[in-house]
Amino acid sequence: MADEKKLFKVTIDNITVEVEPGTTILQAARKIGGDIVPPAMCYYTTLKDSGGKCRSCLVKVAQGSSADPRPMPKLVASCRTNVMDGMVVENITNPAVLEARDGVVEFLLINHPLDCPICDQAGECDLQDFSYNHGEAGTRFEFKKRLFELENLGPYIQLHMTRCIMCYRCTYVADQLTEQRLHGVLDRGDRSRISTYISKAIDNDFSGNMIDVCPVGALTDKTFRFKNRVWFTKPMDAHRECSKCNGKVHLWLRGEEVFRVTGRKDQWGEVHDWICNECRFEKKKVSDWVIEGPAKMNRHSVISANKYYNLKTPDDVLPEVMGGREPKLLMDIHSVSGVNDPDIDLSAIEGPATSKTFQKK
Amino acid sequence: MVQLTQKAKLVDRRQMSWLERIYLWNILKGMMITLSHLFKRKATINFPEQKRYFAPVFRGLHVLNRDEEGRERCTACGLCAVACPAEAITMEAAERLPGEEKLYREEKYAARYEINMLRCIFCGLCEDACPKDAIYLSQTFAPSNYSRKGFIYKKEDLLIPNPLTDPEDYKKALGDRPAKKINN
Protein backbone atom coordinates (compact mmCIF):
# COMPACT_ATOMS: atom_id res chain seq x y z
CA MET A 1 0.00 0.00 0.00
CA ALA A 2 1.44 3.27 -1.09
CA ASP A 3 -0.61 5.64 1.04
CA GLU A 4 0.33 3.91 4.26
CA LYS A 5 1.37 6.56 6.69
CA LYS A 6 4.70 6.33 8.36
CA LEU A 7 4.24 6.35 12.10
CA PHE A 8 6.70 8.08 14.40
CA LYS A 9 8.14 6.15 17.29
CA VAL A 10 8.44 8.27 20.41
CA THR A 11 9.61 7.20 23.85
CA ILE A 12 8.16 9.05 26.81
CA ASP A 13 9.51 8.08 30.22
CA ASN A 14 10.79 4.79 28.78
CA ILE A 15 7.41 3.89 27.30
CA THR A 16 7.43 3.72 23.51
CA VAL A 17 4.37 4.63 21.51
CA GLU A 18 3.73 5.02 17.80
CA VAL A 19 1.93 8.16 16.75
CA GLU A 20 1.13 9.95 13.54
CA PRO A 21 3.43 12.72 12.32
CA GLY A 22 2.26 16.12 13.55
CA THR A 23 1.20 14.86 16.95
CA THR A 24 2.41 16.90 19.89
CA ILE A 25 4.37 15.34 22.74
CA LEU A 26 1.43 16.01 25.06
CA GLN A 27 -0.99 14.14 22.82
CA ALA A 28 1.46 11.25 22.52
CA ALA A 29 1.73 11.13 26.31
CA ARG A 30 -2.05 11.17 26.61
CA LYS A 31 -2.15 8.22 24.26
CA ILE A 32 -0.06 6.32 26.80
CA GLY A 33 -1.96 7.75 29.78
CA GLY A 34 -1.25 7.38 33.46
CA ASP A 35 1.21 9.37 35.54
CA ILE A 36 3.46 10.38 32.68
CA VAL A 37 0.97 12.80 31.13
CA PRO A 38 2.21 16.37 31.62
CA PRO A 39 -0.33 18.70 33.23
CA ALA A 40 -1.89 21.28 30.91
CA MET A 41 -3.37 24.55 32.07
CA CYS A 42 -3.70 26.47 28.81
CA TYR A 43 -3.69 23.79 26.10
CA TYR A 44 -7.12 22.61 25.01
CA THR A 45 -7.45 19.94 22.36
CA THR A 46 -10.67 21.27 20.89
CA LEU A 47 -9.44 24.88 20.68
CA LYS A 48 -7.16 25.62 17.76
CA ASP A 49 -3.87 27.42 18.52
CA SER A 50 -4.26 27.06 22.29
CA GLY A 51 -1.27 26.15 24.40
CA GLY A 52 2.24 27.35 24.98
CA LYS A 53 1.33 30.00 27.53
CA CYS A 54 1.32 28.53 31.02
CA ARG A 55 4.53 26.44 30.80
CA SER A 56 3.11 23.77 33.11
CA CYS A 57 3.60 21.01 30.54
CA LEU A 58 7.38 21.47 30.26
CA VAL A 59 9.31 18.30 29.42
CA LYS A 60 12.90 17.42 28.64
CA VAL A 61 13.67 16.11 25.17
CA ALA A 62 16.69 13.89 25.74
CA GLN A 63 17.00 12.95 22.08
CA GLY A 64 15.58 15.09 19.31
CA SER A 65 15.08 12.31 16.76
CA SER A 66 16.86 9.23 15.49
CA ALA A 67 18.33 11.35 12.66
CA ASP A 68 19.61 14.04 15.01
CA PRO A 69 20.07 12.48 18.46
CA ARG A 70 21.19 15.66 20.19
CA PRO A 71 19.03 16.68 23.17
CA MET A 72 17.09 19.93 23.01
CA PRO A 73 19.01 22.54 24.99
CA LYS A 74 16.10 23.73 27.12
CA LEU A 75 12.91 22.27 28.48
CA VAL A 76 10.16 22.48 25.89
CA ALA A 77 6.43 23.00 26.17
CA SER A 78 5.07 19.59 25.27
CA CYS A 79 1.72 20.94 24.08
CA ARG A 80 3.33 22.88 21.21
CA THR A 81 6.25 20.62 20.31
CA ASN A 82 5.64 18.03 17.63
CA VAL A 83 7.14 14.60 17.95
CA MET A 84 9.94 13.39 15.69
CA ASP A 85 10.76 9.81 14.82
CA GLY A 86 12.91 8.31 17.56
CA MET A 87 12.37 11.15 19.98
CA VAL A 88 13.11 10.40 23.63
CA VAL A 89 11.18 12.50 26.13
CA GLU A 90 11.65 12.62 29.86
CA ASN A 91 8.81 13.85 31.99
CA ILE A 92 8.52 12.56 35.55
CA THR A 93 11.76 10.62 35.25
CA ASN A 94 13.76 13.83 34.99
CA PRO A 95 14.18 15.79 38.27
CA ALA A 96 14.88 18.99 36.32
CA VAL A 97 11.40 18.82 34.79
CA LEU A 98 9.76 18.38 38.17
CA GLU A 99 11.78 21.23 39.61
CA ALA A 100 10.80 23.48 36.71
CA ARG A 101 7.19 22.54 37.28
CA ASP A 102 7.50 23.54 40.95
CA GLY A 103 8.73 26.89 39.73
CA VAL A 104 5.83 27.23 37.31
CA VAL A 105 3.39 26.59 40.17
CA GLU A 106 5.08 29.26 42.23
CA PHE A 107 4.89 31.77 39.41
CA LEU A 108 1.24 30.99 38.64
CA LEU A 109 0.37 31.41 42.31
CA ILE A 110 2.18 34.73 42.69
CA ASN A 111 -0.90 36.68 41.77
CA HIS A 112 -3.51 34.00 42.19
CA PRO A 113 -5.50 34.62 45.38
CA LEU A 114 -5.81 31.69 47.80
CA ASP A 115 -9.56 32.11 48.09
CA CYS A 116 -10.43 28.54 47.22
CA PRO A 117 -12.93 28.42 50.15
CA ILE A 118 -14.95 31.08 48.34
CA CYS A 119 -14.25 30.11 44.76
CA ASP A 120 -16.91 28.11 42.94
CA GLN A 121 -14.26 26.34 40.88
CA ALA A 122 -12.72 24.68 43.94
CA GLY A 123 -12.87 20.93 43.59
CA GLU A 124 -12.64 20.94 39.80
CA CYS A 125 -9.88 23.52 39.42
CA ASP A 126 -6.86 22.63 37.29
CA LEU A 127 -4.62 25.01 39.19
CA GLN A 128 -5.71 23.53 42.50
CA ASP A 129 -4.80 20.02 41.34
CA PHE A 130 -1.59 21.27 39.76
CA SER A 131 -0.39 23.09 42.87
CA TYR A 132 -1.29 20.18 45.12
CA ASN A 133 0.78 17.85 42.97
CA HIS A 134 3.76 20.14 42.53
CA GLY A 135 5.57 22.80 44.43
CA GLU A 136 5.89 23.83 48.02
CA ALA A 137 3.19 24.27 50.61
CA GLY A 138 4.42 27.67 51.73
CA THR A 139 4.91 30.93 49.91
CA ARG A 140 7.92 33.20 49.45
CA PHE A 141 5.91 36.05 48.05
CA GLU A 142 5.70 38.93 50.51
CA PHE A 143 4.02 41.61 48.45
CA LYS A 144 0.45 42.57 47.74
CA LYS A 145 -1.26 40.56 45.04
CA ARG A 146 -2.58 42.51 42.10
CA LEU A 147 -6.16 43.75 42.31
CA PHE A 148 -8.61 44.71 39.61
CA GLU A 149 -11.77 46.70 39.43
CA LEU A 150 -14.81 44.50 39.37
CA GLU A 151 -16.38 44.13 35.99
CA ASN A 152 -19.86 42.91 35.16
CA LEU A 153 -20.06 40.60 32.17
CA GLY A 154 -23.81 40.30 32.19
CA PRO A 155 -26.27 38.03 33.95
CA TYR A 156 -24.64 34.70 33.15
CA ILE A 157 -20.89 34.91 33.51
CA GLN A 158 -19.03 36.05 36.60
CA LEU A 159 -15.52 37.36 36.07
CA HIS A 160 -12.95 37.27 38.87
CA MET A 161 -9.98 38.85 37.20
CA THR A 162 -7.67 38.30 40.22
CA ARG A 163 -7.89 34.56 39.66
CA CYS A 164 -7.02 34.66 35.96
CA ILE A 165 -3.78 32.99 34.87
CA MET A 166 -3.86 34.39 31.31
CA CYS A 167 -4.27 31.09 29.51
CA TYR A 168 -6.25 32.73 26.66
CA ARG A 169 -8.60 29.75 26.40
CA CYS A 170 -11.69 31.94 26.76
CA THR A 171 -10.64 34.22 23.93
CA TYR A 172 -10.17 31.20 21.68
CA VAL A 173 -13.67 30.07 22.60
CA ALA A 174 -14.99 33.47 21.64
CA ASP A 175 -13.01 33.48 18.39
CA GLN A 176 -13.80 29.96 17.31
CA LEU A 177 -17.30 29.30 18.62
CA THR A 178 -19.20 32.54 18.60
CA GLU A 179 -19.83 34.75 15.62
CA GLN A 180 -18.48 37.86 17.29
CA ARG A 181 -15.87 38.23 19.98
CA LEU A 182 -16.90 40.65 22.67
CA HIS A 183 -13.98 40.28 25.02
CA GLY A 184 -10.26 40.01 24.87
CA VAL A 185 -7.07 40.74 26.75
CA LEU A 186 -6.45 44.40 27.51
CA ASP A 187 -3.31 46.08 28.85
CA ARG A 188 0.15 44.62 29.21
CA GLY A 189 2.38 42.76 31.60
CA ASP A 190 0.98 41.95 35.02
CA ARG A 191 -1.77 44.51 34.43
CA SER A 192 -3.14 42.55 31.49
CA ARG A 193 -6.69 41.49 32.02
CA ILE A 194 -9.64 39.79 30.39
CA SER A 195 -12.20 42.43 29.67
CA THR A 196 -14.87 43.63 27.33
CA TYR A 197 -14.78 46.96 25.57
CA ILE A 198 -16.58 49.46 27.82
CA SER A 199 -18.26 46.93 30.10
CA LYS A 200 -20.31 45.17 27.50
CA ALA A 201 -22.29 42.12 28.48
CA ILE A 202 -21.16 38.91 26.81
CA ASP A 203 -24.29 37.39 25.32
CA ASN A 204 -23.16 35.30 22.39
CA ASP A 205 -24.92 32.01 22.05
CA PHE A 206 -21.97 29.78 22.87
CA SER A 207 -20.17 32.19 25.19
CA GLY A 208 -21.04 30.07 28.23
CA ASN A 209 -18.41 27.57 27.12
CA MET A 210 -15.70 29.90 28.35
CA ILE A 211 -16.80 28.89 31.85
CA ASP A 212 -16.01 25.27 31.07
CA VAL A 213 -12.66 25.97 29.47
CA CYS A 214 -11.44 28.29 32.23
CA PRO A 215 -8.87 26.24 34.16
CA VAL A 216 -9.31 28.39 37.27
CA GLY A 217 -12.24 30.21 38.83
CA ALA A 218 -11.84 33.41 36.82
CA LEU A 219 -14.93 32.73 34.76
CA THR A 220 -17.72 31.03 36.65
CA ASP A 221 -21.41 30.46 36.21
CA LYS A 222 -23.34 33.32 37.79
CA THR A 223 -26.51 31.25 37.98
CA PHE A 224 -24.61 28.77 40.16
CA ARG A 225 -22.62 31.32 42.13
CA PHE A 226 -22.27 30.38 45.82
CA LYS A 227 -25.29 28.11 45.67
CA ASN A 228 -23.50 24.91 46.46
CA ARG A 229 -20.10 23.32 46.45
CA VAL A 230 -19.40 21.10 43.47
CA TRP A 231 -18.68 18.08 45.62
CA PHE A 232 -22.14 18.20 47.21
CA THR A 233 -23.83 18.09 43.84
CA LYS A 234 -24.24 14.91 41.83
CA PRO A 235 -23.07 14.94 38.22
CA MET A 236 -25.44 13.17 35.86
CA ASP A 237 -25.21 12.52 32.15
CA ALA A 238 -28.22 14.07 30.48
CA HIS A 239 -29.38 15.28 27.10
CA ARG A 240 -32.21 17.21 25.50
CA GLU A 241 -33.35 18.13 22.06
CA CYS A 242 -31.73 21.42 21.20
CA SER A 243 -31.79 23.22 17.88
CA LYS A 244 -28.47 24.99 18.48
CA CYS A 245 -26.24 22.38 20.05
CA ASN A 246 -26.35 18.63 20.47
CA GLY A 247 -27.63 19.00 24.03
CA LYS A 248 -25.31 16.50 25.69
CA VAL A 249 -24.46 17.83 29.13
CA HIS A 250 -23.60 17.07 32.71
CA LEU A 251 -26.35 18.03 35.12
CA TRP A 252 -25.20 18.85 38.62
CA LEU A 253 -28.07 17.78 40.80
CA ARG A 254 -28.85 17.98 44.44
CA GLY A 255 -31.94 15.98 45.15
CA GLU A 256 -34.37 17.03 42.44
CA GLU A 257 -32.82 20.45 41.92
CA VAL A 258 -30.61 21.19 38.92
CA PHE A 259 -27.96 23.51 40.28
CA ARG A 260 -25.71 23.71 37.27
CA VAL A 261 -25.40 22.54 33.70
CA THR A 262 -21.97 22.07 32.11
CA GLY A 263 -20.56 20.45 29.04
CA ARG A 264 -19.33 16.89 29.31
CA LYS A 265 -15.67 16.82 30.22
CA ASP A 266 -13.44 13.93 29.27
CA GLN A 267 -10.72 12.49 31.48
CA TRP A 268 -8.40 15.42 30.63
CA GLY A 269 -11.05 17.93 31.65
CA GLU A 270 -11.82 18.92 28.08
CA VAL A 271 -15.22 19.49 26.53
CA HIS A 272 -15.74 18.11 23.04
CA ASP A 273 -19.42 18.86 22.53
CA TRP A 274 -19.96 22.56 23.12
CA ILE A 275 -23.34 23.47 24.52
CA CYS A 276 -25.38 26.59 23.94
CA ASN A 277 -26.31 29.17 26.52
CA GLU A 278 -29.94 28.15 26.54
CA CYS A 279 -29.07 24.63 27.65
CA ARG A 280 -26.52 25.91 30.13
CA PHE A 281 -28.32 28.73 31.84
CA GLU A 282 -32.02 28.42 31.23
CA LYS A 283 -32.93 24.78 31.56
CA LYS A 284 -32.78 24.34 35.31
CA LYS A 285 -35.51 21.80 35.76
CA VAL A 286 -35.20 18.02 35.83
CA SER A 287 -38.21 17.84 33.50
CA ASP A 288 -36.25 19.66 30.78
CA TRP A 289 -33.76 16.84 30.53
CA VAL A 290 -33.52 13.13 29.82
CA ILE A 291 -31.22 11.79 32.49
CA GLU A 292 -29.04 8.90 31.35
CA GLY A 293 -27.35 8.07 34.63
CA PRO A 294 -24.56 9.13 36.98
CA ALA A 295 -21.55 10.65 35.23
CA LYS A 296 -18.19 8.96 35.55
CA MET A 297 -15.91 11.11 37.68
CA ASN A 298 -12.26 10.63 38.49
CA ARG A 299 -12.08 8.43 41.55
CA HIS A 300 -9.51 10.74 43.14
CA SER A 301 -11.57 13.86 42.61
CA VAL A 302 -13.29 15.36 45.62
CA ILE A 303 -16.45 15.35 43.50
CA SER A 304 -16.65 11.61 43.94
CA ALA A 305 -16.47 11.94 47.73
CA ASN A 306 -19.50 10.72 49.70
CA LYS A 307 -21.19 9.42 46.57
CA TYR A 308 -22.51 5.91 46.55
CA TYR A 309 -22.70 4.27 43.17
CA ASN A 310 -24.77 1.16 42.50
CA LEU A 311 -26.63 1.88 45.69
CA LYS A 312 -29.41 -0.58 46.36
CA THR A 313 -32.01 0.89 48.66
CA PRO A 314 -33.72 -1.92 50.58
CA ASP A 315 -37.48 -2.09 50.28
CA ASP A 316 -39.32 -0.28 53.02
CA VAL A 317 -41.05 -3.08 54.91
CA LEU A 318 -42.69 -0.86 57.52
CA PRO A 319 -45.90 -0.05 55.61
CA GLU A 320 -46.30 -3.74 54.85
CA VAL A 321 -45.82 -4.76 58.47
CA MET A 322 -48.13 -2.01 59.71
CA GLY A 323 -50.96 -3.02 57.39
CA GLY A 324 -50.55 -0.25 54.84
CA ARG A 325 -50.17 2.50 57.43
CA GLU A 326 -47.18 4.81 56.99
CA PRO A 327 -44.89 5.04 60.02
CA LYS A 328 -45.46 8.12 62.13
CA LEU A 329 -42.80 10.75 61.57
CA LEU A 330 -41.46 11.65 64.99
CA MET A 331 -39.62 14.76 63.90
CA ASP A 332 -39.87 16.62 60.63
CA ILE A 333 -36.38 18.03 60.14
CA HIS A 334 -37.75 21.13 58.39
CA SER A 335 -39.59 22.12 61.58
CA VAL A 336 -36.23 22.83 63.23
CA SER A 337 -33.66 23.12 60.48
CA GLY A 338 -33.44 26.13 58.21
CA VAL A 339 -31.10 24.49 55.73
CA ASN A 340 -32.73 23.23 52.54
CA ASP A 341 -35.96 25.05 53.30
CA PRO A 342 -38.74 23.66 51.06
CA ASP A 343 -40.04 27.22 50.57
CA ILE A 344 -36.72 28.51 49.22
CA ASP A 345 -35.64 26.94 45.95
CA LEU A 346 -32.00 28.00 45.66
CA SER A 347 -31.51 26.55 42.19
CA ALA A 348 -34.42 28.63 40.86
CA ILE A 349 -33.18 32.07 41.88
CA GLU A 350 -31.13 33.88 39.29
CA GLY A 351 -27.98 35.06 40.97
CA PRO A 352 -26.32 34.11 44.24
CA ALA A 353 -28.39 33.95 47.40
CA THR A 354 -28.13 36.96 49.69
CA SER A 355 -29.44 37.78 53.13
CA LYS A 356 -32.69 38.88 51.47
CA THR A 357 -33.26 35.38 50.12
CA PHE A 358 -33.31 33.93 53.58
CA GLN A 359 -35.54 36.53 55.21
CA LYS A 360 -38.78 35.08 56.47
CA LYS A 361 -41.68 36.04 54.30
CA MET B 1 -2.41 -25.56 78.66
CA VAL B 2 -0.21 -22.73 77.40
CA GLN B 3 -1.02 -19.48 79.11
CA LEU B 4 -1.54 -16.65 76.64
CA THR B 5 -1.64 -13.84 79.22
CA GLN B 6 -0.57 -13.26 82.78
CA LYS B 7 -4.10 -12.45 83.84
CA ALA B 8 -5.53 -15.94 84.12
CA LYS B 9 -5.26 -17.43 87.57
CA LEU B 10 -5.76 -21.03 88.47
CA VAL B 11 -8.58 -21.53 90.95
CA ASP B 12 -7.32 -22.84 94.26
CA ARG B 13 -9.54 -25.84 95.04
CA ARG B 14 -7.80 -27.05 98.19
CA GLN B 15 -9.81 -27.76 101.35
CA MET B 16 -10.18 -24.60 103.45
CA SER B 17 -8.61 -24.55 106.92
CA TRP B 18 -10.62 -23.76 110.10
CA LEU B 19 -9.51 -20.14 110.12
CA GLU B 20 -10.51 -19.71 106.53
CA ARG B 21 -13.83 -21.46 107.12
CA ILE B 22 -15.10 -18.91 109.66
CA TYR B 23 -14.47 -16.16 107.04
CA LEU B 24 -13.65 -13.65 109.78
CA TRP B 25 -10.18 -13.16 108.46
CA ASN B 26 -11.41 -12.44 104.92
CA ILE B 27 -14.07 -10.05 106.20
CA LEU B 28 -11.40 -8.12 108.08
CA LYS B 29 -9.23 -8.05 104.99
CA GLY B 30 -12.10 -6.62 102.96
CA MET B 31 -12.93 -4.05 105.64
CA MET B 32 -9.32 -2.88 105.62
CA ILE B 33 -9.56 -2.14 101.91
CA THR B 34 -12.81 -0.24 102.45
CA LEU B 35 -11.34 1.74 105.32
CA SER B 36 -8.22 2.64 103.42
CA HIS B 37 -10.38 4.38 100.79
CA LEU B 38 -11.65 6.80 103.45
CA PHE B 39 -8.23 8.39 103.49
CA LYS B 40 -7.75 8.53 99.73
CA ARG B 41 -8.63 11.40 97.38
CA LYS B 42 -12.24 11.46 96.24
CA ALA B 43 -12.93 10.42 92.67
CA THR B 44 -16.00 12.63 92.41
CA ILE B 45 -16.34 16.41 92.38
CA ASN B 46 -19.26 18.67 93.32
CA PHE B 47 -20.13 19.27 89.70
CA PRO B 48 -21.98 22.55 89.25
CA GLU B 49 -19.77 24.37 91.77
CA GLN B 50 -16.57 22.67 90.79
CA LYS B 51 -15.56 22.20 87.17
CA ARG B 52 -13.26 19.53 85.92
CA TYR B 53 -10.14 20.54 84.04
CA PHE B 54 -10.38 20.16 80.28
CA ALA B 55 -7.20 19.81 78.32
CA PRO B 56 -6.68 22.37 75.52
CA VAL B 57 -7.06 19.55 73.02
CA PHE B 58 -10.42 18.46 74.46
CA ARG B 59 -13.03 18.17 71.73
CA GLY B 60 -16.31 19.53 73.01
CA LEU B 61 -19.09 21.75 71.74
CA HIS B 62 -18.43 23.47 68.43
CA VAL B 63 -17.91 27.21 68.23
CA LEU B 64 -18.09 29.33 65.09
CA ASN B 65 -15.30 31.84 65.38
CA ARG B 66 -15.16 35.55 64.65
CA ASP B 67 -12.10 37.64 63.85
CA GLU B 68 -10.81 40.53 66.00
CA GLU B 69 -13.28 42.90 64.39
CA GLY B 70 -16.25 40.71 65.18
CA ARG B 71 -16.84 39.50 61.64
CA GLU B 72 -17.83 35.91 61.03
CA ARG B 73 -14.95 33.90 59.68
CA CYS B 74 -16.94 31.12 58.05
CA THR B 75 -17.19 31.37 54.26
CA ALA B 76 -19.35 28.25 53.82
CA CYS B 77 -16.64 26.48 51.85
CA GLY B 78 -18.12 23.14 52.81
CA LEU B 79 -14.83 21.48 53.75
CA CYS B 80 -16.08 20.70 57.29
CA ALA B 81 -19.21 19.13 55.86
CA VAL B 82 -17.31 16.98 53.39
CA ALA B 83 -14.79 15.97 56.06
CA CYS B 84 -17.51 15.10 58.58
CA PRO B 85 -17.72 11.30 58.86
CA ALA B 86 -21.13 11.50 60.53
CA GLU B 87 -22.54 13.93 57.93
CA ALA B 88 -23.73 16.15 60.75
CA ILE B 89 -22.93 19.53 59.22
CA THR B 90 -25.11 21.28 56.68
CA MET B 91 -24.93 24.83 55.39
CA GLU B 92 -26.19 27.28 52.83
CA ALA B 93 -24.03 30.05 51.48
CA ALA B 94 -24.94 33.59 50.50
CA GLU B 95 -23.20 36.52 48.92
CA ARG B 96 -22.33 39.50 51.10
CA LEU B 97 -24.29 42.57 50.12
CA PRO B 98 -22.79 46.06 50.18
CA GLY B 99 -23.18 47.31 53.75
CA GLU B 100 -22.67 43.91 55.35
CA GLU B 101 -18.87 44.15 55.42
CA LYS B 102 -18.85 44.54 59.21
CA LEU B 103 -20.75 41.28 59.66
CA TYR B 104 -18.88 38.90 57.39
CA ARG B 105 -15.21 38.65 56.67
CA GLU B 106 -15.34 37.51 53.06
CA GLU B 107 -17.63 38.07 50.11
CA LYS B 108 -19.31 34.75 50.71
CA TYR B 109 -20.64 33.66 54.07
CA ALA B 110 -22.75 30.94 55.65
CA ALA B 111 -26.31 32.18 55.73
CA ARG B 112 -27.35 28.95 57.40
CA TYR B 113 -25.04 26.69 59.31
CA GLU B 114 -26.31 23.76 61.29
CA ILE B 115 -24.75 20.94 63.21
CA ASN B 116 -26.87 18.00 64.19
CA MET B 117 -25.45 17.16 67.62
CA LEU B 118 -27.27 13.83 67.60
CA ARG B 119 -25.13 12.78 64.66
CA CYS B 120 -21.89 14.49 65.69
CA ILE B 121 -19.23 12.19 67.07
CA PHE B 122 -16.89 15.01 68.20
CA CYS B 123 -13.99 13.72 66.15
CA GLY B 124 -12.70 17.21 65.37
CA LEU B 125 -12.20 16.61 61.66
CA CYS B 126 -14.21 19.75 60.88
CA GLU B 127 -11.71 21.79 62.86
CA ASP B 128 -8.83 20.14 60.99
CA ALA B 129 -10.46 20.77 57.63
CA CYS B 130 -11.32 24.41 58.23
CA PRO B 131 -9.07 26.69 56.16
CA LYS B 132 -10.35 29.86 57.79
CA ASP B 133 -10.00 29.06 61.52
CA ALA B 134 -13.77 29.43 61.61
CA ILE B 135 -14.88 26.34 63.47
CA TYR B 136 -13.27 24.74 66.48
CA LEU B 137 -14.25 22.38 69.24
CA SER B 138 -14.32 24.10 72.62
CA GLN B 139 -13.51 22.83 76.08
CA THR B 140 -17.13 22.33 77.12
CA PHE B 141 -19.70 19.62 76.69
CA ALA B 142 -22.74 19.96 74.50
CA PRO B 143 -25.53 20.53 77.05
CA SER B 144 -28.29 17.98 77.43
CA ASN B 145 -31.79 18.66 76.27
CA TYR B 146 -35.31 17.32 76.72
CA SER B 147 -36.18 16.91 73.05
CA ARG B 148 -34.50 15.95 69.81
CA LYS B 149 -35.34 19.33 68.37
CA GLY B 150 -32.95 20.97 70.81
CA PHE B 151 -29.98 19.20 69.28
CA ILE B 152 -30.08 20.89 65.88
CA TYR B 153 -27.59 23.65 66.60
CA LYS B 154 -28.01 26.64 64.35
CA LYS B 155 -25.58 29.40 63.56
CA GLU B 156 -26.92 31.58 66.37
CA ASP B 157 -26.24 28.79 68.88
CA LEU B 158 -22.75 28.15 67.63
CA LEU B 159 -21.43 31.67 67.07
CA ILE B 160 -18.89 33.00 69.52
CA PRO B 161 -19.86 36.26 71.34
CA ASN B 162 -18.80 39.39 69.52
CA PRO B 163 -15.34 40.53 70.76
CA LEU B 164 -16.29 44.20 70.32
CA THR B 165 -19.52 44.21 72.30
CA ASP B 166 -18.85 41.31 74.61
CA PRO B 167 -15.07 40.89 75.03
CA GLU B 168 -15.25 38.90 78.29
CA ASP B 169 -17.57 36.22 77.00
CA TYR B 170 -15.56 36.10 73.78
CA LYS B 171 -12.37 35.36 75.74
CA LYS B 172 -14.14 32.75 77.79
CA ALA B 173 -15.56 31.02 74.74
CA LEU B 174 -12.21 31.15 72.96
CA GLY B 175 -10.60 29.17 75.80
CA ASP B 176 -6.85 28.70 75.93
CA ARG B 177 -6.51 27.20 72.52
CA PRO B 178 -3.86 28.64 70.21
CA ALA B 179 -5.19 30.28 67.05
CA LYS B 180 -4.75 28.32 63.83
CA LYS B 181 -2.48 29.85 61.25
CA ILE B 182 -4.36 30.61 58.06
CA ASN B 183 -2.88 31.18 54.67
CA ASN B 184 -4.40 33.75 52.37
Structural domain count of chain B = 1
Higher pLDDT, A97 or A330: A97
Average pLDDT on A341-351 reads 86
User: In this model, does residue A311 exceed pLDDT 90?
Assistant: no
Chain B interface disruption, residue of A114, A226, A259, A344, most B CBs within 10 A: A226
Segment A289-298, tens digit of pLDDT: 999 988 888 8
Domain ranges for chain A: 8-107, 126-137+144-221, 230-304
Question: pTM of the full predicted structure?
Answer: 0.83
User: In this model, does residue B142 exceed pLDDT 70?
Assistant: yes
Of A114, A122, A330, the CB nearest to B183: A114
**Per-residue pLDDT band at A112 (split at 50, 70, 90):** very high
CATH assignment of A126-137+144-221, among 3.30.1490.20, 3.40.140.10, 1.10.1040.10, 3.30.70.20: 3.30.70.20
Report yes or no on B13 lying in a domain.
no
User: In this model, does residue A197 exceed pLDDT 80?
Assistant: no
**Per-residue pLDDT band at B9 (split at 50, 70, 90):** confident
Q: Does A229 touch chain B (CB under 8 A)?
A: yes
Supply the range of the domain harboring residue B78. Answer: 62-174
The reported pLDDT for the residue numbered A139 is 84
Query: Any idea what the CATH number is for the domain that residue B160 is in?
Result: 3.30.70.3270
Higher pLDDT, A132 or B1: A132
The CATH class, in words, for A8-107 is alpha beta
User: In this model, does residue A151 exceed pLDDT 90?
Assistant: no
The reported pLDDT for the residue numbered B183 is 63
**Per-residue pLDDT band at A360 (split at 50, 70, 90):** low
Of A292-301, B9-18, B32-41, B141-150, highest mean pLDDT: B32-41
The reported pLDDT for the residue numbered B184 is 58
Q: Does B149 touch chain A (CB under 8 A)?
A: yes
Report yes or no on B26 lying in a domain.
no
End-to-end CA distance of chain A: 77
- Dihedral sign (CA A180, A183, A184, A186): positive
The reported pLDDT for the residue numbered A271 is 92
Report yes or no on B146 lying in a domain.
yes
Q: Does B123 touch chain A (CB under 8 A)?
A: no
Ranking A101-115, B4-18, B76-90 by mean pLDDT, the lowest is: B4-18
The reported pLDDT for the residue numbered B152 is 93
Residues of chain A with C-beta less than 8 angstroms from the C-beta of B75: 117-118
Give the ipTM of the model, two decimals please: 0.82
User: In this model, does residue A145 exceed pLDDT 60?
Assistant: yes
Report yes or no on B48 lying in a domain.
no
Of A117, A331, A355, the CB nearest to B131: A117
Ranking A20-34, A55-69, A86-100, A305-319 by mean pLDDT, the lowest is: A305-319
